[in-house]
């Protein structure tokens, strides 16, 4: 019955790790065409399901047994909750008669996951199984996407029953607002034409809604600059003349100054995250705000909007585009010259303060590594990452010309995310080039998944940016803790060639700048998986940088320069 529910929901593969109470399910799976991917750790089952979901827009599915299996999913559930990724997690539970008795491998999965899922269920009897599973998929994918957990006791797994198709979902307390208020949309269109310094601020909601083409249409119609958040990269083609870059703590000068000096923010599918806004009171102080989001809880949570619009951003943009076109002035308006000057100013900032690669003749700079990945990617490859310096340099320097190519842990910042999410993405899109760009810290949290990659022959290209440190933590200790480097040194890293060879595929370590291009080409050309360990300069810091508590206009553009004594 559970497998039939999954078939009806379009599931073609899922990620999991079996255990005692899920044995009846795995026994049924033995004869079923749905593909189960055996990962090597349950946390990675959820990360892989996220990679699948982020690469396709479909619901990702993971499965774990009771007790430690279920609790190992928690980090992945929080990660998908923070980044609004549709996941259905299936967990086993001890026999109903044993719940509350501290039975072997019992945990209060339902209680533990209440705060880290969009919704969760415990199935009490076989009669409600099908209805609950279909509801779980509906809740995960509708409205603002997110993770839903279904906890199934062993006696329910063992019960007998007939599958009855579920033709409708009726959840009286669950409301999804999709269309947006017509009057507010028209008011927003009028404000867009009245503004002298409008700026588009788009986030992961654009990608979740499949609204990239609508966003690009509006940006071109209005001819205003656009920035996309870390989660929104790819929503605008990186080479688009109106696209500026990513804003925020490690965003560009042009993006941050543009947001600071804009008189109108068109905020689309964003949540005014602290990593973008910096000191909230100083964020876009001169701007009126149009805020479009499908989640009413996000409207006004961090920044009061002048025009709030609750609705699916794709549908809202379709309506907004028509009205903006309808209201477009027939003759040149009085604010035409200021608008042209504004566009020119933001583009000038972009040219004057570029996010550009840094190279050296003596050591591989991290930015050099990103430029080589960008070269072979051409804006078309799927790139997954962990969290940290490599994530920020990748966001700054690697092009993403389409949505669903940049897969990273945004809100939670989970180390160990990059490798298992690449597994999910490669299963989701087997014909695509998938590059897992990871740090030496995060990679070592996910090393067991090399076995999964080898077992399934996945052609994932693993590129480790190895600086011998927990890089972002070291950067903060360097800049704000008097360079007192406490517990951040990663001084023991496996030999990449031997490690990959132990799993039956190729690997290599490079440390010289002149070796890098050829090594990257060799990595990409290999038909199977490849592990490339790139030793980069250990003390490079990510700039620009906004110090904690600072306004995004208060950027540190580079390392401190020694005083010149005259």
**Cα-trace Rg, the chain:** 24
Q: Strand, helix or coil at 458?
A: coil
Distances in whole angstroms, Cα of residue 124 to Cα of each of 5, 91, 102, 157, 174: 17, 13, 18, 11, 21
- Report how far Cα 138 is from the mean position of its chain's Cα atoms: 21
Phi, psi of 151 (to 5 degrees): -100, 125
Catalytic residue among 42, 50, 372, 449: 42
Q: Strand, helix or coil at 103?
A: coil
- Beta strands (DSSP E) in 294-433 are 307-310, 382-385, 406-408
Dist CA 350 CA 255 (whole Å):
8
Cis before 428 (ω within 30):
no
The end-to-end CA distance of the chain, in Å, is 81
Catalytic residue among 472, 540, 545, 555: 472
Q: Catalytic site residue 105?
A: yes
Tell the residue number behind the tokens 């409008």, with chain if given: 198
- Compute the Cα dihedral for 114, 412, 426, 235 and give only its sign: positive
Q: Strand, helix or coil at 513?
A: helix
Catalytic residue among 50, 81, 137, 154: 154
List the structure tokens of 3.
């497998």
Closest CA to 288 of 302, 308, 274: 308
Q: Catalytic site residue 363?
A: no
Catalytic residue among 104, 158, 179, 301: 104
Dist CA 31 CA 37 (whole Å):
15
- Answer for the pair 223, 70: CB distance below 8 angstroms, yes or no: no
Q: Catalytic site residue 472?
A: yes
Closest CA to 35 of 424, 422, 419: 424
Question: Which strands, in side-by-side order, build the sheet including 264-268?
Answer: 226-228, 198-202, 264-268, 288-293, 307-310
- Answer for the pair 81, 116: CB distance below 8 angstroms, yes or no: yes
Catalytic residue among 105, 318, 402, 444: 105
Please give the DSSP secondary-structure letter assigned to residue 263: S
- Beta strands (DSSP E) in 364-519 are 382-385, 406-408, 434-439, 461-466, 506-510
Q: Give catalytic residue positions.
A: 42, 104-105, 154, 472
């Amino acid at each position: 019955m559970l497998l039939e529910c999954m078939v009806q929901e379009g599931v073609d593969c899922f990620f999991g790790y079996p255990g005692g109470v899920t044995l009846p399910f795995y026994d049924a799976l033995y004869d079923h065409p749905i593909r189960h991917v055996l990962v090597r750790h349950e946390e990675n089952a959820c990360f892989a399901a996220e990679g699948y979901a982020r690469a396709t827009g479909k619901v990702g599915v993971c499965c774990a047994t009771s007790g430690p299996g279920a609790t190992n999913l928690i980090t992945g559930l929080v990660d998908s909750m923070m980044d609004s990724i549709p996941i259905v997690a299936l967990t086993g539970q001890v026999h109903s008669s044993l719940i509350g008795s501290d039975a072997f491998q019992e945990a209060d999965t339902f209680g533990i996951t209440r705060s880290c899922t969009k919704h969760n269920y415990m199935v009490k009897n076989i009669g409600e199984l099908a209805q609950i599973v279909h509801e779980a998929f509906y809740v995960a994918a509708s409205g603002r996407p997110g993770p839903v957990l279904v906890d199934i006791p062993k006696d329910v797994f063992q019960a007998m029953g007939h599958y009855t198709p579920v033709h409708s979902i009726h959840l009286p307390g669950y409301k999804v607002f999709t269309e947006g208020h017509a009057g507010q949309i028209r008011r927003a269109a009028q404000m867009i034409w009245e503004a002298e310094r409008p700026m588009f601020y788009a986030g992961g909601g654009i990608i979740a809604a499949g609204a990239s083409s609508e966003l690009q249409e509006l940006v071109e119609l209005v001819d205003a600059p656009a920035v996309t958040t870390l989660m929104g990269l790819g929503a605008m083609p990186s080479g688009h003349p109106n696209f500026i870059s990513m804003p925020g703590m490690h965003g560009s000068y042009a993006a941050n100054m543009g947001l600071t000096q804009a008189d109108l923010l068109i905020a689309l599918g964003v949540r005014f995250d602290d990593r973008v806004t910096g000191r909230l009171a100083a964020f876009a102080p001169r701007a009126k705000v149009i805020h479009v989001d499908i989640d009413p809880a996000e409207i006004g949570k961090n920044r009061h909007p002048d025009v709030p619009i609750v609705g699916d951003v794709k549908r809202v943009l379709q309506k907004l585009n028509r009205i903006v076109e309808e209201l477009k002035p027939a003759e040149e308006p009085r604010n035409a010259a200021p608008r042209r000057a504004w566009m020119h100013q933001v583009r000038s900032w972009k040219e004057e303060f570029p996010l550009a690669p840094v190279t050296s003749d003596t050591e591989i700079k991290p930015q050099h590594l990103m430029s080589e990945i960008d070269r072979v990617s051409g804006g078309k490859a799927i790139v997954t990452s962990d969290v940290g310096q490599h994530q920020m340099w990748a966001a700054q320097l690697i092009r993403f010309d389409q949505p669903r190519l940049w897969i990273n842990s945004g809100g939670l910042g989970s180390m160990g995310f990059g490798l298992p999410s690449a597994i999910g993405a490669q299963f989701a899109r087997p014909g695509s080039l998938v590059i897992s760009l990871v740090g030496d810290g995060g990679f070592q949290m996910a090393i067991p998944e090399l076995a999964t990659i080898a077992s399934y022959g996945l052609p994932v290209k693993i590129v480790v940016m190895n600086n011998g440190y927990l890089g972002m933590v070291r950067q903060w200790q360097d800049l704000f803790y008097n360079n007192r480097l406490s517990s951040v040194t990663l001084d023991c890293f496996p030999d990449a060639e031997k490690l990959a060879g132990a799993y039956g595929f190729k690997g290599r370590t490079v440390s010289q700048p002149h070796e890098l291009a050829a090594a990257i080409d060799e990595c990409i050309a290999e038909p199977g998986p490849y592990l490339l360990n790139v030793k980069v300069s250990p003390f490079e810091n990510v700039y620009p940088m906004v110090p904690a508590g600072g306004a995004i206009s208060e950027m540190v553009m580079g390392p401190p320069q020694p005083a010149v004594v005259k």
